[in-house]
Amino acid sequence: MATPTSPTASDGRDDAGGEALARCVGDPGRFVAEHWGRAPLYRPGADATGFADLFSLGDVDHILSSTTPRYPAFRLVKDGRQLDRRSYTRSGRVGGQPVDDLADPRRLYELFDGGATIVLQSLHRFWPPLARFGRDLELTLTHPVQVNAYITPPASQGLGVHHDTHDVFVLQVDGRKRWDVHDPDGRATERLLAAELAPGDCLYIPQRFPHAARTAETASVHLTVGVVPTTWGEVARRAVTSAVEGALSGEPLPAGYAADPAALTAGVAEQLAEVRRRLDKLDPAAIAEAAADRFWSSQPPSLAGQLQELLALEEIGDDTVVRRRPGAVCRLRQREDRLEVLLGDRGLRMPARLAPVMRVIVASERLAVGDLAGYLDPPSRLVLVRRLVREGLLESVSTSGPGSAGG
């Protein structure tokens, strides 16, 4: 279980082992100290199949030809410009309603063959391997993550030199692609880093660093894992804005104020003094806690298989083994006579007496419902576990047999 952040706040264990970050950068500690938000990093892969479990050229074909994606889940770019979506979409009907943004596989392949790069967007939302990878990276960095795929034909360039407003990890999946990264404070023609990524390689580019990429003899499939950072400025601005808005008077300026601005001096000084008083009262710990809560409240659970879990709720008994869903968020915060259980996109309030059993639940890899006998009577532990399954924190693993043990 994670170390409590304060005497009244206890954080449950999160399944953020950092494996995703280690796959990208090798040594997470060194990366955070030397590169995070500061400098690019090129890391050659030790294994050409290093990211093959996440995505493949075959997966691209499956999505384009068999799933009928809708724009803007995909787009095409060529020579630095985005192509008109009408050139690669078609009309159809979905649920009896007419739509005009369905992928036209034939046109997509024709344009790709003519040099256009296919971009598959927000894959972390629907492609399970990337959803798991993105969640692990997100919980490690505690910054939001998004994943796109870029499929570029040979001897082509999708986007020209540009910079992003977020950090990116480039994961080379198939083929090769040459990247140039420039110093944001130098001349655009000066290269800070040049590398040709092969399968299994990773390139980290912080925000503001101009970059461009192009293929040579081979086509390329790479994943761009975007990390949208929360900045010091955003955290401070939110707190200051709240304090200032609460301090300033909504009364109108005196009639005729523009004819005698000097007469406003005392009033302006009074308003500024109130702003200073409000700013002096800001609590850094409360601001930090609010910033953390905003992140944790943006992490909904992955609900794969939830329909089956709901239909089997009444079958849960003392011999049922449950585990925490991979990537599920659970933060425990004790507030006097109640326990707040933060579950990503929702929160539960429980009696404070349930804190010990909840700590056991979130800290365990898996356990049998009967293992909670030291904390709750049979009806109470069934009610609690079924509620946590319903909320998406726990999932059933199996029914334990003789001699099985939780933990």
What CATH code is carried by the domain that includes residue 129? 2.60.120.650
User: Is the bond preceding 72 in cis, omega lying within 30 degrees of 0?
Assistant: yes
- Is 223 in the same domain as 239? no
The domain boundary residue, chosen from 179, 204, 227: 227
* Number of folded domains that form the chain: 3
- Is 34 in the same domain as 100? yes
Q: Confirm whether 4 is domain-assigned.
A: no
What are the tens digits of pLDDT across the range 229-265? 999 999 999 999 988 888 888 889 999 999 988 889 9
The domain boundary residue, chosen from 227, 248, 268: 227
Count Cβ atoms below 10 Å from residue 370 Cβ, excluding itself. Answer: 16
Beta partners for residue 17, in sequence order: none
What are the tens digits of pLDDT across the range 50-93? 899 999 999 999 999 999 999 999 999 998 899 999 999 999 99
Helices (H), 175-299: 232-247, 265-280, 284-296
* Alpha carbons 325 and 132: distance in angstroms, whole number: 11
Nearest one of 335, 334, 308, 320 to 392, comparing CA atoms: 308
Q: Confirm whether 36 is domain-assigned.
A: yes
Q: Confirm whether 300 is domain-assigned.
A: no
Q: Confirm whether 405 is domain-assigned.
A: no
- Is 196 in the same domain as 324? no
Tell me which residue range forms the domain holding 135: 9-227
Q: Confirm whether 206 is domain-assigned.
A: yes
* Alpha carbons 384 and 357: distance in angstroms, whole number: 10
According to DSSP, residue 6 is labeled B
Each of the 407 residues of the chain gets a pLDDT tens digit; together they read 333 333 334 444 454 568 999 999 999 999 999 999 999 999 999 788 889 999 999 999 999 999 999 999 999 999 889 999 999 999 999 999 999 999 999 999 999 999 999 999 999 999 999 999 999 999 999 999 999 999 999 998 877 788 889 999 999 999 999 999 998 887 666 789 999 999 999 999 999 999 999 998 899 999 999 999 999 999 999 999 988 888 888 889 999 999 988 889 988 999 899 999 999 999 999 999 999 989 998 898 889 899 999 999 999 999 999 999 988 999 999 888 899 999 998 889 999 999 999 999 999 999 999 999 999 999 999 999 999 999 999 999 965 444 334 44
- Is 272 in the same domain as 312? no
- Is 206 in the same domain as 283? no
Residue 352: predicted pLDDT: 94
Residue 17: predicted pLDDT: 62
Q: Confirm whether 165 is domain-assigned.
A: yes
Please check whether residue 174 is in contact with residue 119, taking contact to mean a CB–CB distance below 8 angstroms: no
Q: Confirm whether 407 is domain-assigned.
A: no
The domain boundary residue, chosen from 227, 257, 284: 227
Please check whether residue 204 is in contact with residue 171, taking contact to mean a CB–CB distance below 8 angstroms: no
- Is 210 in the same domain as 182? yes
- Is 169 in the same domain as 254? no
Widest Cα–Cα separation across the chain: 90
Flag whether the pTM goes above 0.75. Answer: yes
- Is 13 in the same domain as 160? yes
Cα(first)–Cα(last) distance of the chain, in Å? 13
Residue 407: predicted pLDDT: 41
- Is 253 in the same domain as 220? no
> What is the CATH classification number for the domain harbouring 333?
3.90.930.40
Q: Confirm whether 3 is domain-assigned.
A: no
- Is 101 in the same domain as 203? yes
- Is 239 in the same domain as 265? yes
C-alpha angle 56-57-63 in degrees, rounded to nearest 5:
90
Residue 189: predicted pLDDT: 65
- Is 87 in the same domain as 116? yes
